[in-house]
Amino acid sequence: MKICFYALREYDELHFCREMKEKYGIDFTYTTDYPNDKNIALASGCDGMSCTPCDMSRKVLEAFHNVGVKYILLRSVGYDHVDLEAAREFGLKVDTVTYPPTGVADYAIMLMLASVRRFAHILKRAELQDYSLKNKLGRDFSMCTVGVMGTGRIGTTVIQHLSGFGCRILAYDVYENETAKKFAEYVDRDTLFRESDIITLHMNANDDNYHIISREAIEKMKLGAYIINTARGKLVDSEALIWGIESGRLGGAALDVVEFENGLYYYDLMGEVMVNPKLAMLRSFPNVILSPHTAFYTAEDVRDMVEGNFRSCYEFGTGKKLHGVEVRA
Ligand code: COI
């Protein structure tokens, strides 16, 4: 069996590919580029193709199907970028990865703390020798009510870890999670909006929750509330967020993901013209923190992502389910 890796990072993923090749007996080839018209042929002769989130529309899936690829192996938990209906039509099997939820959960908590303590602003000013206190007054995190939207693996871990800080925790999800229930109170969406000082998003993006943080939602929130997004950009209407910040309704936001981040994030664009006006606008606010979709980025998670693709390929190809069993090819 063989996997063709796209957008493979030679500095942190390649050595894991080499390790997993030995462990699973599955060969690989790679390119550092995202899939495009010119490099799809690189996957011919491969059982699977692997990529981090990128355009996985019908056209792209058809092209991979045409060169003989059978498995679409995502180096992500999220799959909102994949046209699953088209994949089914072309007989392509699609799999995501699972990496420990702690990395993203702790990053979200870091963003919460940084937001309410105005940490990014304080650091930026200190770099310029501004050691004054004016405009740097924070909130006591332990006294905040945190509303967690989405109580899957990551949301529930956020809740568990937050309980150590002494925050009051509210939760919202269509499905209630028994572990989350031990530390958080499930409430309806409007109650969460009304009572939370901080709202943190941990949902997969789908048609039902597109722009769940809309202007209408922001209008329902507590004056001075903070929005934290480490899930998907599509959950937040950026225009509404800009309105919330400009009008002073929101106290701030910390966004690891933004709408239309594809083509920007993970590229070094230093010195180039910013082509995302909403992102440029958000960047200009002192109470908005932006990071380039790095919440997942730990050595542990990267390893699990690469291994996850090899495991899926092994399982698809052999029909054998691995349950944490060591594979020696
Ligand atoms: C995911 O796993 O869904 C992520 O968002 C991280 C990915 C961009 C590598």
Question: If DSSP codes are grouped into helix, strand and coil, which group holds residue 101?
Answer: coil
Judge if 176 and 156 occupy the same domain. yes
Judge if 255 and 314 occupy the same domain. no
Is 77 near ligand 1, meaning CB less than 6 Å away? Answer: yes
Q: Are strands 250-255 and 288-290 parallel, antiparallel or unpaired?
A: parallel
Q: Which atom of ligand 1 is nearest to the CA of 99?
A: 2
Q: Which atom of ligand 1 is nearest to the CA of 53?
A: 8
Judge if 286 and 144 occupy the same domain. yes
Residue with token string 């150590």: 164
The residues annotated as belonging to the active site are: 232, 261, 293
Supply the residue whose CA is at minimum distance from atom 2 of ligand 1: 76
List the chain pLDDT tens, one digit each, 329 residues: 999 999 999 999 999 999 999 999 999 999 999 999 999 999 999 999 999 999 999 999 999 999 999 999 999 999 999 999 999 999 999 999 999 999 999 999 999 999 999 999 999 999 999 999 999 999 999 999 999 999 999 999 999 999 999 999 999 999 999 999 999 999 999 999 999 999 999 999 999 999 999 999 999 999 999 999 999 999 999 999 999 999 999 999 999 999 989 889 999 999 999 888 999 999 999 999 999 999 999 999 999 999 999 999 999 999 988 765 444 44
Q: What count of other Cβ atoms lies within 10 Å of the Cβ of residue 74?
A: 24
Q: What domain range includes position 163?
A: 102-290
Judge if 19 and 156 occupy the same domain. no
Supply the residue whose CA is at minimum distance from atom 7 of ligand 1: 76
> Taking a C-beta distance cutoff of 8 angstroms, is the pair 258, 233 a contact?
yes
Which of these, 290, 292, 304, lies nearest to 77 by C-alpha position?
304
Residue 329 covered by a domain? no
Q: What are the tokens at 290? A: 């932006």
Judge if 74 and 135 occupy the same domain. no
* Euclidean distance between CA atoms 190 and 180, whole angstroms: 19
Judge if 63 and 123 occupy the same domain. no
Is 293 near ligand 1, meaning CB less than 6 Å away? Answer: yes
| Sheet with 185-186, edge to edge strand ranges | 185-186, 168-172, 145-149, 198-201, 225-229, 250-255, 288-290
Residue 34 covered by a domain? yes
